[in-house]
A and B are shown apart, each in its own frame.
Chain A
Amino acid sequence: MSRAALLVLADGRFPAGGHAHSGGAEPAVKAGRIRDAQDLAAFCRGRLHTAGLTAAALAAAAALGLDPLRLDEAADARTPSPALRATARRLGRQMMRAARASWPSPELEALAAARPRGAHQPVVLGLAARSAGLGPEDAAHCVAYETVSGPATAVVRLLSLNPFDATAVLARLAPEMDEVARRAAEAARGGFGELPAASAPLLDITAEAHAAWPVRLFAS
C-alpha cells in the first residue's frame, strides 16, 4: 500500500465536499447537546462507535472488492433517514468525481455508470481506496477519522470552540478510531452477513428537522 495515497484520500482538502457537513453537530449545538469540548468528545465518541463503525465497514468491504451495488443497498437499509440517504449520495457523487480524477479505474467507472446520482459515500470511498492500491483497514481508517473530524471542525465554527481543544478531542479518540477501523475491516472480511449496522437514534432524528431549517451553516 502507499501511505502517501492514504494521506491524499484522508486529507480534509481532498475535494470531496465533506467540509460543508457537520455530521449532525449543528442540530446538536442548537439543541444544547454540545456546549463544550467535553460534550463534543461524547458526541464524537458516540458517532464513531455507531454511524462511524457502520460506514467504516461498508468502506472496508468496498475496498476488499465486495459488490458495490449490494453494499449500496446495505447502506440504504442502514440509513432510515431520507435526509441522510440524500446527503450520503450527494457526498458519494462528489467523492466519485474526485476519485475518478485521482485514481481512475474500471470499477469506479462501472459504479459511476450504475449510480449516476451517486452511491453512498463510504462505498465510493472504499472503491476509491481500492483503486488507489489501498486496503480495507486504510479505507476504514479514512471513514473513522472523517466521522469525528467533521463534527469537531464544525463545532469550532458553531461554538467558537478553541481549535486546539477540538484537535485534542480528536487526538484522544485516536486509539478508539484504530479499534473501530480494525473491527470494521474484520467484519468486512466476514462478508455481507457480518457487516455491522450500529446506529445513533439522535443523529437519525435530528437530521430530518435540520434538513428543513431555512437557514443553516452546514448542509447536514
Chain B
Amino acid sequence: MSIRATARIHAVRTEGGATALPVLESAGPLALRRTRASGAGAKVTVVGAMSAPLGGDRLAIEAEVGAGARLAVDSAAATIALPGRDGERAHYDVRLTVGDDSELRWLPEQLISAYGSDLRMRTRIDLAPTARLVYREEQILGRYGEMPGTLSTRLTVHRDGRPLLDQELGYGPGAPGGWDGGAVLGGHRAVGQLLIVDPAFEEKEPEVRILSGTAVLTPLAGPAVLVTALAPDALLLRRLLDAVLRDEAG
C-alpha cells in the first residue's frame, strides 16, 4: 500500500517574543519532534523518514512561519527514495511560507536516490518582503557504489509574490538525455543547493565566490545568494556547504 501523508508545522511569535508551535502534526512516516534550539526561536526535527518515500507514496510537509517568528527545521537522518513494488513514481512536496520579519532555517539531511527508485520532489517557498531564509537541499545519486534512481526536483521561490528562483533538476535513467554529460553533472554524484535570502543584501549586494572547480556562490537577481555545488560524494558536498553556512549565516 502506498502512503498519502501531509505533516504540518505552524510557528508563531508569542507576546513575549518567543516562538510557539500551535501546530505540529506528524503524518505517516514524517514524525515531527520539537527539539532544543541552539539560538532564539523554535526547532523541529523530522524523525523516522528513513525508509520513505517508496514508489507510489505521496508525502508532503508544510511549514508556515508567522510574522516575527523564528523556526529551524532539520532531520534526524537522510531521506532515501526507494523503489515501490510496482515501479510507480513517488511524490514529495514541501511547501514553506515565511512571514514578515521572520526567519526559517530549513536544513534537512540529504536526499538519497536509490537504484530503481523514481521520485518527483517539489518545493514551493513563499517569502514576505522582509522574511529571511536559509534553505539547503542535497541530492545524492545512489547509495555507496550504487547506480542512481530517477530523481527530479523543482525548487520555486517567490518573494513578495514575484519569482526569485526557479530551478528544476533531473537525473538518472528516467531523466532526459545528457544529464551526466559535461553540461550538467559531468560524472558527479552529489549535488547541492544552499539558498540564503536576506533583505540586508539589498543594501550590500554579495559578490560571486568561486568555492571550488565545481561550486560557486552567486547573487541572484533579488536579495539572495545561491550556492550551486557538485562534489564526488555527500561528505565533501556537506563540508563545502557548511563552510558557506558558517561564513554567511552566522
Chain A contact residues, CB within 8 Å of chain B: 24, 28, 31, 33-34, 39, 41-51, 53-54, 73-74, 76-83, 85, 176, 196-205, 208-209, 212
Contacts and interface: CB of A to CB of B under 8 A. Distances in A.
A46 B208 contact: no
Interface in B183-218: 183-186, 191, 208, 210, 213-216, 218
Contacts, number: 132
Interface residues of B, number: 38
Nearest to A76: B221
B181 interface: yes
B181 A42 contact: yes
A196 B168 CA distance: 8
Given A201-B191, A205-B216, 18 more contacts: A24-B183, A31-B182, A34-B182, A41-B181, A42-B178, A43-B182, A46-B183, A77-B163, A78-B166, A79-B221, A80-B226, A81-B216, A196-B168, A198-B170, A202-B214, A203-B183, A205-B230, A209-B216
Interface string B89-132: 00000000000000000000000000000000000000000000
Contacts of B23: none
B162 A44 contact: no
Contact of B164 (A24, A34, A77, A203): A77
Contact of A43 (B170, B183, B213): B183
Interface in B131-171: 154, 156-157, 162-170
Nearest to B164: A77
Contacts of B218: 80-82, 204, 208
B168 A198 contact: yes
12 contacts: A31-B186, A44-B183, A45-B181, A50-B176, A50-B178, A54-B168, A77-B165, A77-B221, A196-B168, A200-B184, A203-B184, A204-B216
Interface of B: 154, 156-157, 162-170, 176-186, 191, 208, 210, 213-216, 218-221, 226, 228-230
Which 10 A/B pairs are nearest by Cβ-Cβ distance? Answer: A46-B178, A42-B181, A33-B182, A45-B178, A49-B176, A77-B163, A46-B183, A76-B221, A197-B166, A46-B184
Given A49-B177, A76-B221, A208-B208, A201 B165 contact: no
A202 B167 contact: no
Contacts of B226: 80
A110 to B, nearest CB: 20
Contacts of A51: 183
Contacts of A33: 181-182, 186
B156 A197 contact: yes
B167 to A, nearest CB: 5
Contacts of A47: 178, 183-184
Nearest to B215: A205
B185 A80 contact: no
B165 A205 contact: no
A89 to B, nearest CB: 11
Contacts of B213: 31, 209
B218 to A, nearest CB: 5
Contact of B180 (A28, A42, A81, A209): A42
A73 B183 contact: no
Contacts of B185: 201-202
